Structure 1
Amino acid sequence: MFPVTNLSTQTAGAASARLPAVRVHTLARLAGVLGFAMATALSAQVAIPLPHTPVPVTLQTLAVLLAGVTLGPRLGALSLALYLLLGSAGYHFFAGGHWGFQTVLGATGGYLIGFLLAQPLLGLLTRRSWPLLGLYCGRAPHRAVDLVVALLAANAVILGGGVTWLYFWSGAGLAATLSMGLWPFLPGEAAKTAAAFVLGRAALRYVRPWMDAD
């Protein structure tokens, strides 16, 4: 005779023991998505207008970079999509308290789209199990240069999207567009990237394992 009753009891006990861990991970991921959506909205309110450009200096890039590193590709994209959805729906979540879908279609729309693309890209580049980028990923722990490359790639997407959109939106020449949408922001982007690197190293070690589903 096989101890069917004991086996069933052990299986049920193991399953019930896993339930609290599943709930904790689910709550952690939900908190991460909501938290970084709100962090992106708050960082957008730190907006410093500059002369001769419709694009302000904000702290959004820092929040976006940290979200990508901390949440990973799927949850990071979800948090940014939630931010854009709430801002488009009427919440004053965009830079300087702006809101509405007209903001997404305005001068800074390219940067918002760049955020949406850069966040999952950064999550992929910092994902240990991503096989196609073994040159930069898949090591345990992550090397510093891996994170630097990932952050620079994400910044290139953000700034590239912003400048490209601004070029067509403004109708100005390339030199004028670069003066409005790129050159004034490079020092600030360097500082925010450095901050994201320092904080991101800790996030990859202590928080990211809770966010990755596999």
Structure 2
Amino acid sequence: MTIAASPSRTVLADALVRRGWLTDSLLVVGGTALVALLAQVQVPMWPVPITGQTLAVVLVGATLGTWRGAAALALYLVAGVAGAPVFTGWSHGLGSDVITSFGFVIGFIPAAALIGWLSERRWDRRPLLAVVGFGLAGLVPFLFGVPWLAAALAAMGAPHDLATVLNYGVTPFIVGGIVKWAIAAALLPAAWKALRASQR
């Protein structure tokens, strides 16, 4: 078991592997890979597809903690912009198939940091707090994605009034968001419970 600086700041990754620069680096890259993989689970829609990314984002953030979670999502963003095929549909760069949803990708970084910060304070171990924490983290990408979408639509000369933007950038994601929220809020407390049981 990993020895953390403070038991209250231990996240799941720290309970499973010993901390060190190499381990941390591998965890960050692994988190990036998981987000890239779940980005390919999608319901194609324009201008923003429904994907499994947000589930990966909150799981990575909760499992790795604040800085490693944020680093994994920052690496995801940088890799995609630089040309690695990590975005939905194995796309990359800021072409027309990415630009409208790129604000959500930006929002993934603070979302991972937030749930990581809460998990360092044990919110991911208690079912009720997990529900609240993952719900809050799941809302963060919309704070970035919706204004970005409005600006992108405006730049394209497409309708970008509030009703249209909400219809494109919020409404289609409500049901899927609740499902992903519930999955994440169930998985982390269950993982901690299983870990504690295995150490008895």
TM-score range, shorter chain: 0.7 to 0.9
Q: Which moved more, 1:33-42 or 1:198-207?
A: 198-207
- Asked if the contact 2:125/2:188 (under 8 Å) is kept, the reply is no
Q: 2:68 aligns with which of 71, 75, 84?
A: 75
- Asked if the contact 1:47/1:56 (under 8 Å) is kept, the reply is yes
Q: Structure 2: which 5+ runs fail to align?
A: 1-16, 155-159, 196-200
The answer on 1:38 being equivalent to 2:26 is no
Structure 2 vs 1, CA of residues 24 and 101 (structure 1 numbering), >3 Å: closer, same or farther?
A: same
- Asked if the contact 2:73/2:108 (under 8 Å) is kept, the reply is yes
**Offset at 1:164?**
1.6
Q: 2:24 aligns with which of 24, 29, 34?
A: 29
TM-score by length of 1: 0.73
One-letter code of the match for 2:30? G
Higher radius of gyration, 1 or 2: 1
TM-score by length of 2: 0.78
One-letter code of the match for 1:25? R
Aligned residues: 173
Distance in structure 1 (CA, Å) of the matches to 2:29 and 2:194: 19
Give the equivalent residue in structure 2 for 1:166: 149
**RMSD, aligned CA:** 2.4
- Asked if the contact 2:92/2:98 (under 8 Å) is kept, the reply is no
Q: Structure 1: which 5+ runs fail to align?
A: 1-22, 129-136, 208-214
SS at match of 2:120: coil
Distance in structure 2 (CA, Å) of the matches to 1:106 and 1:205: 41
Q: Which moved more, 1:40-49 or 1:98-107?
A: 98-107
**Offset at 1:157?**
0.9
Q: 1:57 aligns with which of 50, 55, 70?
A: 50
Distance in structure 2 (CA, Å) of the matches to 1:206 and 1:74: 25
Q: 1:118 aligns with which of 95, 104, 111?
A: 111
Distance in structure 2 (CA, Å) of the matches to 1:204 and 1:118: 21
